[in-house]
Amino acid sequence: MRYLPLSNKDRESMLNTIGIESIDNLFDELPKSEVPQNLPKHKSELQVDRELSQIANENLPYTQVPSFLGAGNYCHYSPASLDYIIQRGEFLTSYTPYQPEISQGTLQVIFEFQTQVALITGMEIANASMYDGATACAEAISMASRINKRSKVLISGGLHPHYIDVSKTQLKHLGFDFKVLDPYVSGKEDLLNQIDTNLSCLVIQNPSFFGNIQDYTSIANECRYKGVLLIVVVTEPVSLGLIKSPGEMGADIVVGEGQSLAGPSNFGGPGLGFFASLQKYVRQMPGRLCGQTLDKDGKRGFVLTMSTREQHIRREKATSNICTNSGLIALAFSVHLTLLGESGFLELANINHKNAVELSIRLNNIPKIKVINSSFFNEFVVELPRSAGSVIDELTDLNILAGIPVSRFYPEHPHLSNLMLVTATEMNTKSHLDSFIDALNKVL
Amino acid sequence: MKNNFLHEEPLIFEYPVSDNSAVDFDSPLGESENLGGIKRSNPIGLSSLSEPEVVRHYTRLSRQNYSIDTGLYPLGSCTMKHNPRLNEKMVRLKGFMDIHPFQPEKTIQGAYKAINLLSDWLIDLTGLPAVAMSPAAGAHGELCGLMCIRAAHEHNGENERKVVLVPESAHGTNPASASLCGYSVESIPCNSKGRVDLDALNNRLGDDIAAVMITNPNTCGLFETDALRISDAVHNAGAYFYMDGANFNAIVGRLTLKQLGVDAMHINLHKTFSTPHGGGGPGAGPTVLSESLAPFAPVPFVVKKNKNLFMVEHSGSNQSEFSIGRMKGFHGQFGVFVRALSYIMSLGADGLSQVSGDAVLNANYLRVRLSKYLTPFHNGTCMHEVLFDGSFLDGTGTRTIDFAKAMIDSGFHPPTMYFPLVVEGALLFEPTETESRQSLDELIDAVIKLAKKAMKKETPEFFENSPVNAPRLRLDETLAARKPILRWTPNPVLKAAE
């Protein structure tokens, strides 16, 4: 068995040292048990590779066909050096950096990651990561309530439905009072009149789940005036290269999903929750924080800090129960942003937007199709003449991953059934757009 | 470690600013914009490096890390075992890596199949009938199990059960998760052997108790020999029995949980099933559930209908009438699932029982060889980790932390220190099964040498100043917490290291 270095001779002599007969004797205190019934015996590396490759082959990778999928998970190109760096064993196979003298690599990466997240969101500080955008959103709501000691939560109809569901599940026993507005696909949602002094926080998403972008400055001002915290969710951080940042608009807490910059979809997980806020709220933040300090020689170094907020110190009074986070995905996100740099990040955002606009123009030229959004970044909603699910199904048979039926997320809102979410990124070529338009003309 | 080949590396933001990038792009497909006037106008302040500079930056940083790939990592409770590279190869198959969570179901039957296969095997390995796959890590799995427990109590009209009992030796996540589930937490003491005090537990059980959370094997490295009596007592009191599965590596393939009367247990795929810790994550915490808790499992989950697999995504449908709802975006930690699957297939039933056998053998070998020099917390057989208390250092002027830090200069990562909290000056070693006899002997020799040195009482400052050969000397954690600098700014308060 290739992962087990002890030889039978080693085992025998070690048992001898311990003074027992067999390995089974080490388990004498355990009750007699049935052993697993169905699990096969061990397999060679080649055989595992064969069997898993066969299962993988039953999937259609989005990189093999024209693909226009988004809804909180975006398909971007990963530079080759990104995967090389995250596969270095010193990063991949290290634990949480609790021994800072021998973990400066991971710690400096976290410090750079925290800085990058703060910079692109326009916030003062950021933490070392959460599981994903949805759980980060729930944690942000909980943090807001610790800050202003209120429990009413207003959620925009433009927030990703998974984020709404996760927040409601995760916080259901903590006495929150949720008001979730209906999905808003177009026009402007009336938030201004719903901000009152009983409200703990308002949660909005920009670009929204339906792709709309909006300047929330006046809403942020109203929130500040009423002591309400504004939580801005970003599910496509590439957008921050082109649109005004949540910090510039006046957000108090910014959370989101970093997958889009961190690498391929992996069927949606593991993701990367990023979490940023104003400095004054730092003691209420969940999760790990990396800070700068000095060693005994006066050299700069980094450590995990302010851990009295965390479960391993504070136990039931901790700001969160999170321990394991998304370290490696945060590294990937950070490496990608470093590879892009300022100019590359702006350019990537620019290409995404222009490709999406080009696609929207071409779709709008099809008489039976209407683009709903008045403005957007790289994702928008189109209205089809019949159920989006059926159109997507037929396009799949023509080898096009066309978009996502909005109704998948809102079974309780059948009037949305003709709507399809469509995304274009730098991955899409002119020939992808041509095939998409041709196929639509064929099936409609 | 300190030598001319280990470079100091500035922050990416401290490199000269230019318009460089390590990425070249094709032109966009069109030139029109549609931003509604919300364009960014200020520069962001990101770095500007070319590819060779970026690769060198991260390669240099990586060399300042200790890792499993470079050495034995005996962190108790963390199961730092070898991370097979086949797992990494498998998760990078295009059919696993390049699939989007919302592709049409007919294009992702393989993904559903992989999730189903892993669920079946986790069910087989634990003997419990169901598994919730979506929790993202151990603590998230604890929350999942407790939420199912709370839903079951509420379903049965038992709304007055508001207390969760947790032994004082528990991981900090246990009380934190119970608290997130709206429960109050009470601690139950351990007996002198570090096991749950059954009498104290029995005295506290009653109709206000929702659940009891027990780590087994416990954090003192011992099997809870009263496990069956504990679960009977818990069930007789109308409460549910949660088992923390962080230490599953000690018993995998040898003991099913059904026999222990377990109602819920999370499985850290990043511990027992070899997926990498990645400097802090990601992990995955699938949570196995007993028959009475299974109906409350979170969405989404994969079900089979005729020959096809499909996913139940919303609570309240026919198949998810009682579900607690959704705990995570999308469909769980799929990339972690594939790695765990690759590992389980590689080892099989026979290999996994050898895993727990060798893990426990290695820990006991350490125990016996080190016991003459260190003070073992318990004299009998331990499970996959061995606990020493700090009393061997009494009167030497050397503290547990100093002793552990000195191990760094011998080339080893220190064990877990000062945990579990019930043991003073604790040192918890978990060697795992992927260490050879030779590497264990090297660790043992190094620890004995240090213990002898400490006993001589001549050089407490040697320990206080350790490590001296690491990329940094001891760092000032008080300074970091008192004046937090959590990001780079253009005018740094502290000067960069020369």
- Domains of chain A and CATH, by start: 65-78+341-443 (3.90.1150.10), 80-336 (3.40.640.10)
* Largest CA-CA distance found in chain B, in angstroms, rounded: 78
- Is there a contact between B292 and B153 (Cβ–Cβ < 8 Å)? no
Report the gap between the CA of B54 and the closest CA in chain A (Å): 6
Determine the pLDDT at residue A377.
98
Burial class (CB in 10 A: 0-12, 13-18, 19+), B213: buried
Determine the pLDDT at residue B498.
32
Give me chain B's average pLDDT, please. Answer: 94
Report the gap between the CA of B32 and the closest CA in chain A (Å): 6
pLDDT tens for residues A152-189?
999 999 999 999 999 999 999 999 999 999 999 987 89
Contact A270 B49 (CB under 8 A): no
Q: What domains sit in chain B, N to C, each tagged with a CATH number?
A: 87-343 (3.40.640.10), 358-473 (3.90.1150.10)
Q: Is the dihedral of CA B464, B426, A99, B63 positive or negative?
A: positive
Question: Residue B57 pLDDT > 70, yes or no?
Answer: yes
How would residue B212 be classed by pLDDT, with cut points 50, 70 and 90?
very high
Chain A residue at shortest CA distance from B381: A26
Cα distance between residue B358 and residue B174, in whole Å: 28
CA-nearest of B415, B141, B114, B130 to B288 is: B130
> Looking at residues B283-294, what average pLDDT do you find?
98
How would residue A308 be classed by pLDDT, with cut points 50, 70 and 90?
confident
Cα distance between residue A435 and residue A378, in whole Å: 19
Question: Residue B454 pLDDT > 60, yes or no?
Answer: yes
> Looking at residues A264-276, what average pLDDT do you find?
97
> Looking at residues A223-232, what average pLDDT do you find?
98
CA-nearest of B162, B264, B179, B144 to A169 is: B144
The C-alpha torsion from A379 through A384 and A389 to A393, rounded to 10°, is -90
Question: Residue B1 pLDDT > 70, yes or no?
Answer: no
How would residue A32 be classed by pLDDT, with cut points 50, 70 and 90?
confident
Question: Residue B421 pLDDT > 60, yes or no?
Answer: yes
Determine the pLDDT at residue A28.
95
Give me chain A's average pLDDT, please. Answer: 96
Which tokens sit at B75?
A: 């962190």
> Looking at residues B376-387, what average pLDDT do you find?
95
Give the number of beta-carbon pairs within 8 Å between A and B: 728
Contact A315 B284 (CB under 8 A): no
pLDDT tens for residues A60-71?
999 999 999 999
Query: What percent of chain A shows pLDDT beyond 90?
Result: 94
> Interior CA angle at B277 toward A52 and B470, to 5°?
140
Chain A residue at shortest CA distance from B92: A266
A313 CB neighbours in chain B (<8 A) are 172
Which of B97, B173, B326 is facing A266, going by the closest CB pair?
Answer: B97
Determine the pLDDT at residue B495.
42
Determine the pLDDT at residue A392.
98
CA-nearest of B263, B242, B198 to B224 is: B198
β-pairing, B287-289 with B130-132? antiparallel
Determine the pLDDT at residue B497.
37
Determine the pLDDT at residue B401.
96
Determine the pLDDT at residue B94.
98
Is the minimum CB–CB distance between A434 and chain B shorter than 8 Å? no
CA-nearest of A260, A238, A264 to A350 is: A238
CA-nearest of A86, A332, A141, A97 to B180 is: A141
Contact A55 B355 (CB under 8 A): no
> Looking at residues A390-397, what average pLDDT do you find?
98
Determine the pLDDT at residue B494.
43
> Looking at residues B399-404, what average pLDDT do you find?
96
Determine the pLDDT at residue B492.
55
- Is there a contact between B171 and B219 (Cβ–Cβ < 8 Å)? yes
Contact A35 B181 (CB under 8 A): no
Contact B281 A328 (CB under 8 A): yes
> Looking at residues B247-276, what average pLDDT do you find?
95
Question: Residue A352 pLDDT > 50, yes or no?
Answer: yes
Interface-testing mutation among A15, A101, A236, A312, with chain B (most B C-beta atoms within 10 A) = A101
Contact B61 A109 (CB under 8 A): yes
CA-nearest of B100, B104, B210 to B147 is: B210
Query: What percent of chain B shows pLDDT beyond 90?
Result: 90
Residue type, B470: A
Give me the phi and psi of B333, to 5 degrees please. Answer: -85, 70
> Looking at residues A85-108, what average pLDDT do you find?
97
Determine the pLDDT at residue A37.
77
What's the Rg (C-alpha) of chain A?
25
> Interior CA angle at B191 toward B186 and B196, to 5°?
50
- DSSP 8-state assignment for residue A129: -
